[in-house]
Amino acid sequence: MFESLNPLIRPRSIAVIGASDDATRIGGRPIAYMRQQGFAGGLYPVNPKRDTVQGLRAFPDVASLPEVPDVGLVAVPGEAAVDAIEALGARGTRAAIVFTAGFAEVDEAGAAAQERMVEAARRHGVRLLGPNCLGLFNAAVGFYPIFSSSFESGWPIQGRIGIASQSGAYGTHVFAVARNRGMGTSICVTTGNEGEVTLGDVIGWMAEAPEVDVICTYAEGIRESDRFLKALELARRNRKPIVMMKVGRSELGGEAAKSHTASIAGDDAVTDAVLREFGVVRARTTEELLDIAYAAQKRIYPANNTLGVITVSGGAGVLISDAADALGFPMPAMPEEAQKALRDIIPFCAPRNPVDCTAQAFNLPSAMGDFARSMARDGGYTSCLGFFTQVGGSKTVAPKMRAQMKQVMAEHPDRLWVLSVIASPEMVREYEEDGFLVFEDPTRAVAALHAMGRFGEAFSGMPAASPALPRVTLPATTPTEAEAKRILAEAGVPAVPERACATPDAAAQAARGIGYPVVLKILSPDILHKSEIGGVLLNIGDEAALREGFATLLARAAERAPGARIEGVLVAKQITGAVEMAMGIVRDPVFGPVAMVGLGGIFIEVLKDVAFRRCPFDAAEAERMIRSLRGFPLLDGARGRPGADVAALAAALSALSAFAAAAGERLAAVDVNPVLVLPEGHGAFAADAVVEVT
């Protein structure tokens, strides 16, 4: 699907437009780097003012090149960069990299120039990286069309980690930190303004590339959702983990991202939900990003991940347990029989989990192997963490401990084995050559191991089924509450029994049919938030109160919303003993309709305990969303209350997602708050609803 990027990342020849004889300049560094690193393909400097560039024959223009280059590197300013893309396309070049800045990231004139450049590229079938990008490197073939100075301190280590970054400087920062940690990142691609090639394209190429096992990504905003989502699904299908730093969480950060790469940051909570949907693990820091990538190189992704810990320190065991609990990382206890057997070896050990073999390990090094073996064999843990601190770096104790642990790991090669030790760089390398992952900080190890389980869950699960979409016809304008609930009810979101009434007599008749007590609400297409004008009356118990309430609502509307169109009063059944929830739809500028569920009433704004998911999705996925809420115990029979009808709520949420997917772009938003969820088996009903139509 993404093989059209092959000429960009695995080219046989490259032309450098704006080539410089000065190896320190932007147009000179790529040539110097590729010559130093032995790029075996054709390397053609284009500079009409020179016969040679850095010892290579130079050419006056693209037309005079001895062959059609696979890729053109553009390092000339302004309109000349647009002309260069036209010339490369006319010659038949299949890809281009544009260093030149001053386009959509600057102003409207720059955006217009970028559009001309992209139009030329598309007309000629050129995959265009940039503009305003730092470039890329593919160290395996010595290909360095990039002007980063990071190579002055060392070249990439050969390895199977790929870096895809919208920011050039930060992408090479990640590479340099990885290199300094001894991690192999052979490929790094930075996308800049993403005029044509997007982050999704690069992730998709890496998801298909046999030379990449792990994908590290830095993103400021997702501009194009279709290829991005295809790329995430392809990586999941090919069991390639993606760990992403997605910045722009804050309002200030979002604005910075917009000015930096002309990106649309979108709503961060929505982006987070989309990444979780495809099993992408989000990292908060560069350190965490590389910790997870480091662990992922083992390619062991347990779907039902559990953590077993062997330690020489009870305090460290508590620290690790706290870190695991905060992540929701299960640490089941060792079986009782296994605990008894370990006490027979060291009577004063604490063998539950963490398994504390105490400082007796100094006197009995074989105990390390016995305890670790029991943890893997009897405990069945998929992730095994040994906290050995400076003991693991001791010249007198470590060799015996290492031999014991290495033997146990060989007996259980399907587990993730991690050591938390303080040792010399040479000894750390020896542990890693044995096959262990090594961290000084055990809490960082816990976070990395937990991420492996999240990948495993994503890789083992099938994509959620999509429900059948209903046929939806939206009204011309935003409807009243009664009409909104009718539309949603037809789509599968049931409403509280109610009737729209234009007169007090009609309201009285409706109340007799529905049964007292009832709720009265002002009915107007212009008053979306009725409670703000006192437009809702509860506990109407008889006809006299109803007629008085009808008059009160009309008077309040006339006083507090004088320009509003009033269609009467809504008479609804008053339901008691229900849990108030909320559902809704927002239209994300990148990912389209997104469903939300959370605690209802005022709590949704106060607590912000909500879950999001791209539409549409089935009832099983809807129930997973509901169960992920911190407030789910309120539905699950907390404090002796009866369990609520979660299945009915999930069915309504799934139906709402299908409605939103079918409604099209004229559906701006839906707000169903509250949804009254009755005890199990009695249903869930929309008590209020707004359907906003553009």
Q: Say which CATH architecture domain 1-132 belongs to.
A: 3-Layer(aba) Sandwich (3.40)
Residue 426, burial from CB neighbour count under 10 angstroms (0-12, 13-18, 19+): exposed
**The CATH classification of domain 579-693, taken from the options 3.40.109.10, 3.30.470.20, 3.20.20.70, 1.10.3720.10:** 3.30.470.20
Q: Is-contact 591 617, C-beta < 8 A? A: no
* Residue 446 to residue 439: CA distance in whole angstroms: 10
* Residue 236 to residue 207: CA distance in whole angstroms: 8
User: For the chain, what percent of residues have pLDDT higher than 70?
Assistant: 97
Look at residue 142 and give its three-state secondary structure.
coil
* Residue 307 to residue 379: CA distance in whole angstroms: 9
- Please, what's the b/e burial string for 626-660 (b: 16 or more CB within 10 A of its CB; e: otherwise)? beebebbebbeeeeeeeebbbbbbbbbbbbbbbbb
Q: Is-contact 188 169, C-beta < 8 A? A: no
* Residue 419 to residue 387: CA distance in whole angstroms: 6
**So what's the pLDDT on residue 251?**
54
The single-letter DSSP state of residue 522 is E
User: Under CATH, which number does the domain 148-297 receive?
Assistant: 3.40.50.261
Sign of CA dihedral 329, 335, 340, 344: negative
Average pLDDT over every residue of 117-129: 98
Average pLDDT over every residue of 560-573: 94
Place 267 in a pLDDT band, splitting at 50, 70 and 90: confident
φ and ψ of 689, to 5 deg: -155, 140
- For the chain, give every domain's residue range: 1-132, 148-297, 307-460, 497-573, 579-693
* Residue 585 to residue 665: CA distance in whole angstroms: 12
Q: Is-contact 338 376, C-beta < 8 A? A: no
Separation in Å, CA 560 to CA 441, 530, 557: 61, 11, 5
Name the CATH superfamily housing domain 497-573.
Answer: ATP-grasp fold, A domain (3.30.1490.20)
Q: Is-contact 14 42, C-beta < 8 A? A: yes
Average pLDDT over every residue of 188-210: 97
- Is the preceding peptide bond at 131 cis, omega within 30 degrees of 0? yes
* Residue 675 to residue 653: CA distance in whole angstroms: 10
Residues forming a β-bridge with 612: 596
Average pLDDT over every residue of 390-394: 90
**So what's the pLDDT on residue 266?**
54
Say whether 497-573 and 1-132 share the same fold. no
**So what's the pLDDT on residue 260?**
40
Give the H or E element holding residue 428.
Answer: helix 425-434
Average pLDDT over every residue of 470-481: 92
pLDDT exceeds 60 at position 262: no
Closest to 687 (Cα-Cα) out of 492, 491, 496: 496
CATH classification (class only), 307-460: alpha beta
Look at residue 557 and give its three-state secondary structure.
helix
